[in-house]
Homo-oligomer: A and B are copies of this chain.
Amino acid sequence: MNRELYRREYDQYRRVVERRLHALARARASGDVDEACRYVLTGGGKRIRAIITILSCQAAGGSARAALDAGSAIEIMHNFTLVHDDIMDNAPSRRGRPSVHVRWDVNNALLAGDVLLGLAYRALLRTKTRSLGRIVELFTRGLLDVCQGQSLDLEYERRTDVTVEDYFRMIEKKTGRLLSTAAEIGAVIGGGTPRTVAALSSYGRYVGRAFQLEDDLLDATGSEAELGKAVGGDILERKKTYLLLETLRRARGRERAFLRTLLVKEGPRARKGRRSPAEKRLIGRVRALYDRHGVLDDTRRLIQENTDRAVAALATLRASRASALLRSLAEELIGRSS
């Protein structure tokens, strides 16, 4: 699909999702916690999880409208995880605004997260489908897996023996599961056959993997304009990304000893806009090692591979405008749509 056309269509979907989320946010009574929920739900974002839900429903033969509540529910669940993760990571900002626990306080943020999860289930339950039990089950499995991914992430922070395999296990749960759940729930609402549901679930899983790897890559190689935040945050925060773990696996001697010092988590660090000269030197040195050991190219290859698999999963579906959009969405994510 033509990139221009894709973007126009994507934007139309996004606007519909935005309207629904704003309506859900308005329905809450007053109070700090409710205001925090509104703040989160009206804070923008790509709304990619909601759009994957809706497109998957259409690709499986259903209508966009049938999956709007479920898509909003997954988007709200995603925002619940962001609010709680930001507390755990002590992150000062999110999408260019103060995070909830900074704008209010930890107690209100904790509770706003809980309320968001309740609102997510409430939105999901508005879905008109004969498979309501099934989608609530998939949704709950998604929730538990995302929490398990976050739990692994916390665990890895303290460990210095994390492997590349551990990393993939973690992002499979933390990032991949919600995208595959979105696709799966959409497909079920659309009345897809088991084969269709499985194909769309695979699509979501591969997109999730490509998405996370792209995120890790951009943090090391992107520009501040692309990221919307300063480059190198993962390195400074001692995140155990694929880039770091794979480079460590390949490095020897002094390089290895240096990289191992990056496995030890320091205290929480504010993601400030400006980097100090020492920070910039550190980021540059690590990035050079990623490059020298071929890990940047390797990551690009992996992103390509996972995108190809996502697209291949779509090939088993009947051709439709929705599946073409899903294909563009996967390709656009890694910035190579034509």
The distance in angstroms between the C-alpha atoms of A117 and B150, with both chains bound, is: 15
Q: Given A111-B88, A147-B115, is A32 in contact with B136 using a C-beta cutoff of 8 Å?
A: no
The distance in angstroms between the C-alpha atoms of A84 and B119, with both chains bound, is: 18
Residues of B within 8 A of A34 (CB): 151
Residues of B within 8 A of A133 (CB): 125, 132-133
How many identical chains are in the complex? 2
Contacting A125 at CB < 8 Å: which of B140, B147, B150, B155?
B140
The distance in angstroms between the C-alpha atoms of A251 and B121, with both chains bound, is: 46
- When the two chains form their complex, are residues B32 and A114 in contact, meaning their CB atoms are under 8 A apart? no
Q: Given A121-B136, A155-B32, is A87 in contact with B115 using a C-beta cutoff of 8 Å?
A: no
Q: What 1/0 flags go to A105-120 for Cβ under 8 Å of B? A: 0011011011101110
Q: Which of A81-114 contact B (CB under 8 A)?
A: 84, 87-88, 107-108, 110-111, 113-114
Q: Decide if A144 is an interface residue (CB 8 Å cutoff).
A: yes
- When the two chains form their complex, are residues B119 and A31 in contact, meaning their CB atoms are under 8 A apart? no
**A272 → chain B closest CB, angstroms:** 22
Residues of B within 8 A of A140 (CB): 118, 121-122, 125
The distance in angstroms between the C-alpha atoms of A111 and B31, with both chains bound, is: 24
Q: Given A117-B114, A121-B121, A132-B132, is A108 in contact with B31 using a C-beta cutoff of 8 Å?
A: no
Q: Decide if A315 is an interface residue (CB 8 Å cutoff).
A: no
In this complex, the interface size class of chain A, counting residues with CB under 8 Å from chain B, is 35 or more
**A132 → chain B closest CB, angstroms:** 5
- When the two chains form their complex, are residues A110 and B88 in contact, meaning their CB atoms are under 8 A apart? yes
**A292 → chain B closest CB, angstroms:** 35
Q: Decide if A312 is an interface residue (CB 8 Å cutoff).
A: no
The distance in angstroms between the C-alpha atoms of A87 and B31, with both chains bound, is: 20
Residues of B within 8 A of A136 (CB): 121, 125, 132, 136
Residues of B within 8 A of A9 (CB): none
The distance in angstroms between the C-alpha atoms of A148 and B33, with both chains bound, is: 8
Cβ-closest chain B residue relative to A123: B140
Residues of B within 8 A of A137 (CB): 122, 125
Contacting A151 at CB < 8 Å: which of B33, B119, B155?
B33
Q: Decide if A282 is an interface residue (CB 8 Å cutoff).
A: no
The distance in angstroms between the C-alpha atoms of A115 and B171, with both chains bound, is: 18
Q: Given A87-B110, A111-B151, is A144 in contact with B132 using a C-beta cutoff of 8 Å?
A: no
- When the two chains form their complex, are residues A143 and B121 in contact, meaning their CB atoms are under 8 A apart? yes
**A325 → chain B closest CB, angstroms:** 30
The distance in angstroms between the C-alpha atoms of A148 and B118, with both chains bound, is: 11
The distance in angstroms between the C-alpha atoms of A31 and B108, with both chains bound, is: 27
- Which 6 residue pairs spanning A and B have beta carbons closest together? A33-B151, A118-B144, A118-B143, A121-B140, A88-B107, A115-B147
